[in-house]
Structure 1
């Protein structure tokens, strides 16, 4: 029997200078950390090479942000040194995405560009262009992967992928696979996410924190080799470490001499020394190892993958700022698709504006997909990064919407309608789900914003043929000039031979206010509402899909030392008496969530409007959620997160519309999650986590599904689909979930546009001592509650609830959910006198602008900004604050002076909540204050709030490091366990050496 098997080690460094934790300056508050650490790593490698060691690593580098934008200007020496090592055959470069992007939520065109441009691109920053050669392996940014990437990667010439198979909460595969034999776990595998996808080579990786699970790299190697000698492992094995290149743990820790024995403190120097210590160990790179060690077996993982909190999308998808950024991204997609449809109808070429070149909407959206714009930092990202993300993505959306308006104007010019007595003549513009795809055939609930003359009380809708269409006027609001802003709601057929031309005419029918209902019913659905639970019963074809516990919004807030879950204080019915209904029924519920805390009493407000059309088997929900504002007193600033922002870190969870469907899977079958990604692929995964690890039978939070429009859950006989609307609010993964086991029965709660928190997933089925997982949970800035980001914010979102019979959602429901996600636009061919608009969206925007203008001229009190904080930097300060409530501030005035002076200098800024003041003298004490401004042009004056309390700042001063209040207690037990275990391991090793 062969016993001379070897233990190979490969070290991978992920290079990305564009962070959510830090800003864009070449110092420790920005990418200066990256430059310092990587130069240190290169120095160690060069020194080791000079002493005769084999010092090999591999690198993956994002092309756009790092290679193209930052390194050439700030640290070209780093590029030259890596390039020299690759040319000499010491190191290897593998592929990372061009855009550093959340590409599991990319369209096919976006994903292909992210991969192919990473290899070669018109700007010369491709890895092959920079290094001469690239190994055909792909490390997804944040390990983000979805079904369908296999085929696309293969088409781009990529043979393999790197994903974390970890024992800590920085993980991708660990909780989703039963324990593999060690000789498989530490070797390449075949990998795919669905049976019809081509398999890729998978390199399972460990993070540096995983080493604590085995005590150290040396102990892991010794254990694997001992198993090889005993015949338990009958092959070579590969210990594959991969981590961000800016991690301080790559560098040696300066310790007193008597502590230098402590493992995992010597950085890459320790790893090199350990490998060269044993004749049966060898350093390698992925391509060299794979050449002699083909994949041993295949694994199938159906979840959408990402290495964030709770082994999924938590860290990127669930922050409030992430919702704003992703909604802007989806607006740019939707407007681009509708503009292209209109351009084709009118013979207009918008390719340059929408799709081609670095100035196109497509390119701006592609780089806007960077994961850095959405996380990984929780509960917020760096101020500078957030401002840049929103500017980039809002600009992409604005340019796409400008293209849509241009195409609409051309359409009106090329297809003028005959004169009409109608109030409005409009043409629906449905969008395909993706570029180069046909318009799907289905039905959509249209909500068209319009403005009616003051003398019009009721209307009727008809097609161009004159056929009547049931339509309702909802959301009526009287404008100052007497006109009425409202929405026309009706059901439209889309695709095939559908007629998209409509006319809205005055109606002679009297205005009959609708009743205040407590029940909605059509031939499919019956929903009973109550003041106790909001929804008392939700039935589909006589089967209960939800009972009194179906709807349960809540907020979890830390009061003292523990989190308290605050529920709604009942519901109340609100009349909709200014509406007119034809073909639908509506119910409006209002609720509050009172929080009685030791800091004070606060109240959040929820408003839900439920709409049921006669012709559709879906319940629509329009939600407005106004979270209470609690005073922020905690400062975020730790080893990783150079954020320095005042927040209230007592917020833990938000659940604005938590729903728990009544599902009853057969004995032995878990609930199943159905998901639809941006490649157009519908797939599923089962909630079988308890069968893999009993400790994961109940999960406090998980988000393992990319949601291109919708997500669904099924027990095999009945299911519920939940859809989002990209024109209102969107997320790459909008529906976090929570799994409970009640009397051996799985109970699943869904939390659209909320964020759960709790215990991370468990990995004890993989062995390990649990120390690494405990340390990472305590110290990681990616695993904090997202709740604080919602403090004082307002959410507006639209949901589609679609119960169905069977396992997978029927194709018809999937199509209609897609149409809800990307609703049709409308070209306004004719409107009442005085209303100028090419698109219905323009009417909505003008009405919102008018409403804001009215708020500005109303004599409402203007509050000063809150959460004002001064952050000193070299030669200046960065001031941050929160906008005052009421959305009244149109700008701010900042005042500052030296402490030894009396005169204030002032600066006025637009409606931003961050200002850098340069040109200040280091070491000098300055005073700062800020106040809000409200400019009302019609009144010719500017209102001012009171000044904030003064802040003192000393430019050049070191910012204090503040421990996360939300971090909880340090894992003293884990640290003590680690010290004792490490000491015993070192002693045992020494005893073994003496004996031998």
Structure 2
């Protein structure tokens, strides 16, 4: 049918696609073959395939779409315990009924990957020696990405098309399991249910974006797929030029939604939640409905509009990364992963610069094996979606992968004739002609400022040689810079009260403050020590905070969730705020704050906190849509602050959640590095009834505060804060921040045994 014919009411149709997100590796469940493990996945997916076959046998041309994780699911668990699921999906794809799409090789934090990790994942997702790639297993697959946890960063617009994937699909949802609906102006009917062009705000890169929806959105439409579709049809035929619409209903393949949430005797009352068979059967008689797949729809439907998304998206709490970044365990594991990255990069540069090492097959194979282990440690399951704490078994897997990744490479390096020497540390390319800068050299127990001399080699890659230097003088910032922000002492929101730290000591000759941090009924008191100084170069403040949180007895934990997580917790912990940074400047409703961030692809992007301009989201309890490789910055267009983390201590891929609100028409912002905010979830301008959001708030497991994970735990981090003028940091400030962030001791790391012991305690 031609495009002009499809714009006639009698010819325009609604296309319906059911997509099943397959991942057998869960943060809430283990690997056993019963309902507490992958037995649930096997039961529900097998039932879904039975329902699809039954519907097709009855003459209903329903089709399935499957995005499937490769390593844990296709290569290991499905192949070993349920090979029939693979063969049945293969058969349906081979017969032209179903469609397979890309997810990720490792159900990974792909948005927080660096270029080497991304390339490895893409190559392995397509084909690998273990024959678990999509090319290895399926006769065809659509070049559509349904990313794990709807994670996206603007670099994807450049990186995925390089590997042949031209389309991405994200939730445009009305419930707090969402991709991007709160970050763009409300889309029109045709835009919500059609391909869009997702374009970069910095360059010319684009991908096709397919909005999709989940069963929370189905609940939002009066718990009825039939009512939803008929509502769309009424709107469709009222258009001046009616166009086809595509509704993609997407949910985890192991969700009870596909099996049925009602007892058999009650399923006729609510067929949309009675399982795959009744769901499809309830709408099969609609004469203007076509069962389809996303790839099939794209064959003859073009993008209807263009949008840009500057946020790094994820479908966690507060529509962002808090579910994977703000637990204590997340920071501990990420610090280990970053150590492995640092060593890998250093060894790779050393190998590239030395022909003898380049021909060392053991070293080369160790680089490849170390990279693979690190990619596996980056599984989202090792970080979340679990709340408020991680399952110890899952965390142990992630820690083991990260630890082995480092040890494999370290052993190969020390065995390559290098003795105990560690490789030089590669630094980012420099923009200035200065020959030296100050930076930190650190271990878990010691830190000092050292002078760094840059020595270029024949490949023009800068390397670092360290000479002991006198510490930089500790002094106050110039008055103009100091007046632009304030850093607060540690505090904890516990129950309905906030408990600030008590200062018990201060050494003004070294700018060192220390004190206690206490909670009512605690078992052990908390303590903290903070050192501040100035950063040489651009005007900036340097701070190291070493904090041990108080220990309180477990209270108020959810019994069912505790069984799945194999842990208890104290639910009275609501927020941890170790070093709140509060700018003294504000923004306005018309010119709101903008967040600028640098991701692990090295790209700088930004987004405005302008949600109040098209929704009721004026006061936001938490925002974490910024992957932070080195730093994050906030600006009102006239003044700004850049906050950099130092990776020689604890560090995190999204280390700085922020909070915003309004006093009148003045917008304020607070930053909470290495902490976690908590409060009301976002409102959704796309909601029709609000039922879906209400149900999600009552039932979703991932929306609890992550503060309980910090109970009794320790943390040591270093920050540099740079005030700046204008709407973006200057190149000199960005360079200073990146230089500050690069660690100089990749062989130090959180101890594997200590990490697991701390979790078990």
- Whether TM exceeds 0.5 here: the answer is yes
Asked if the contact 1:355–1:362 (Cα under 8 Å) also holds between the matched residues in 2, the reply is no
Q: 1:641 to 1:781 in 2, by over 3 A?
A: farther
Q: Structure 1 residue aligned with 2:119, among 112, 132, 136?
A: 112
Provide the secondary structure at the position in 1 that maps to 2:673.
Answer: coil
Q: Does 1:557 align with 2:494?
A: yes
1:787 correspondence with 2:707:
yes
Q: CA deviation at 1:760?
A: 0.9
Residue 388 of structure 1: aligned partner: 397
1:303 CA displacement:
0.5
Instruction: From the CA coordinates, give the structure whose radius of gyration is larger.
Output: 1
Aligned pairs (5 A) from 1:595-634 = 595-596=519-520, 599=521, 603-613=525-535, 615=537, 617-634=539-556
Q: Is the 8 A contact 1:709 1:817 kept in 2?
A: yes
Q: Which of residues 335, 339, 342 in structure 2 aligns to 1:334?
A: 342
* Structure 2 SS opposite 1:660: strand
Matched with 1:766 is 686
Counterpart in 2 of 1:944? none
Is residue 2:233 matched to residue 1:311? no
Per the TM alignment, residue 27 of structure 1 is displaced from its structure 2 partner at its CA by: 1.6
Root-mean-square deviation (CA), in Å? 3.1
Task: Indicate whether 1:805 and 2:744 are aligned.
Answer: no
Instruction: Give the drift of 1:713.
Output: 0.6
For 1:246-645, list aligned pairs within 5 A: 246-255=254-263, 257=265, 260-262=268-270, 264-344=272-352, 347-349=355-357, 356=365, 360-402=369-411, 409=418, 429-433=424-428, 444-448=437-441, 487-494=447-454, 501=465, 520-521=475-476, 525-526=477-478, 539-541=479-481, 544-547=483-486, 550-558=487-495, 563-569=496-502, 571-575=503-507, 586-596=510-520, 599=521, 603-613=525-535, 615=537, 617-638=539-560, 642-645=564-567
Secondary structure, in 3 states, of the residue corresponding to 2:693? Answer: helix
Secondary structure, aligned partner of 1:391 = helix
- 1:974 corresponding residue in structure 2: none
- Residue 734 of structure 2: aligned partner: 814
Q: Is the 8 A contact 1:714 1:807 kept in 2?
A: yes
CA offsets per residue over residues 245-287 of structure 1, 9 Å max, x none?
A: 0000111234374673135321222321133121111110012
Question: Which of the two has greater helix per residue?
Answer: 2
Distance (whole Å) between structure 2 residues aligned to residue 801 and residue 488 of structure 1 = 18
2:157 corresponds in structure 1 to 150
Does the 8 Å contact 2:538/2:733 carry over to 1?
no
1:797, distance to aligned residue in structure 2 (A): 0.8
> Following TM superposition, by how much is the alpha carbon of 1:150 offset from its aligned partner in structure 2, in angstroms?
1.2
Hey, what's the Cα distance between the residues in 2 that align with 1:330 and 1:616? 26
User: Cα–Cα, structure 1 residues 449 and 564, in superposed 2: closer, same or farther, change >3 Å?
Assistant: closer
| Aligned CA distance change for structure 1 residues 267 and 445 (closer, same or farther; 3 Å) | farther
Q: 1:92 to 1:258 in 2, by over 3 A?
A: closer
Please point out which of 622, 633, 636 is paired with 1:701. Answer: 622
2:233 match: 225
**Match 1:38 to one of 38, 45, 50:** 45
Q: What is the CA–CA distance in structure 1 between the aligned matches of 2:589 and 2:574, rounded to whole Å?
A: 35
2:83 corresponds in structure 1 to: 76
User: Which residues of structure 2 form unaligned runs of 5+?
Assistant: 1-6
Mapped pair 1:50 → 2:57: yes
Q: Which of 126, 129, 140 is equivalent to 2:136?
A: 129
Task: Quote the Cα distance in structure 1 between the aligned partners of 2:190 and 2:671.
Answer: 39
- The C-alpha deviation readout for 1:103-138, integer Å capped at 9, x for no partner, is 001112211222232122222111121011111111
Distance of 1:640 and 1:15 partners within structure 2? 25
With a CA cutoff of 8 Å and minimum separation of 6, indicate the structure with the bigger relative contact order. 2
**SS of aligned partner of 2:313:** coil
Distance 1:32 1:298 in 2: 42
Instruction: Tell me which of 2, 5, 29 is aligned to 2:8.
Output: 2
Does 2:166 correspond to 1:244? no
Cα distance in 1 for partners of 2:741, 2:220 equals 44
Deviation at 1:441, TM superposition (A): 7.0
Spell out the pairing of 1:654-803 with structure 2 (5 A cutoff). Answer: 654-665=576-587, 668-693=590-615, 695-763=616-684, 765-803=685-723
Q: Distance in 2 between matches of 1:357 and 1:504?
A: 32
Contact 1:355 1:361 in 2 (8 A): no
8 Å CA contact 1:741, 1:747 repeated in 2: yes
Q: SS at the partner of 1:652?
A: strand
Match of 1:141 among 145, 148, 165: 148
CA deviation vs aligned residue, 1:908-937 (integer Å, no higher than 9, x gap): xx96977xxxxxxxxxxxxxxxxx9xxxxx
Separation (CA, whole Å) in 2 of partners of 1:616 and 1:681: 22
SS at match of 1:49: helix
| 1:502 to 1:265, Cα distance in 2 relative to 1, 3 A | closer
Q: Return 5+ residue gaps in structure 1 as ranges.
A: 413-426, 451-474, 476-484, 508-512, 527-538, 577-584, 826-840, 850-882, 890-909, 915-931, 933-996
Distance across 1 between alignment mates of 2:466 and 2:555: 55
Which TM-score applies when normalising by structure 2?
Answer: 0.91
Structure 1 residue 338: deviation in Å? 2.0
Distance 1:153 1:355 in 2: 26
Partners of 2:440 and 2:740 within 8 A in 1: no
CA drift at 1:193: 3.8
CA distance in 1, matches of 2:547, 2:530: 9
Q: Deviations over 1:794-842 (max 9, x none)?
A: 11111111112222112222222222222234xxxxxxxxxxxxxxx77
| Distance across 2 between alignment mates of 1:615 and 1:111 | 34
Summarize the Cα distance change of 1:816–1:774 in structure 2 as closer, same or farther, 3 Å threshold. Answer: same
Deviation at 1:343, TM superposition (A): 4.0
Q: How many residues align?
A: 746
C-alpha distance 495-77 of structure 1, shift in aligned 2 (>3 A): same
TM normalised by structure 1 equals 0.70
**C-alpha distance in structure 1 between counterparts of 2:413 and 2:201, whole Å:** 37
Cα gap change, 1:361/1:258 in structure 2, threshold over 3 Å: closer, same or farther? closer
- Bigger drift between 349-358 and 786-795 goes to 349-358
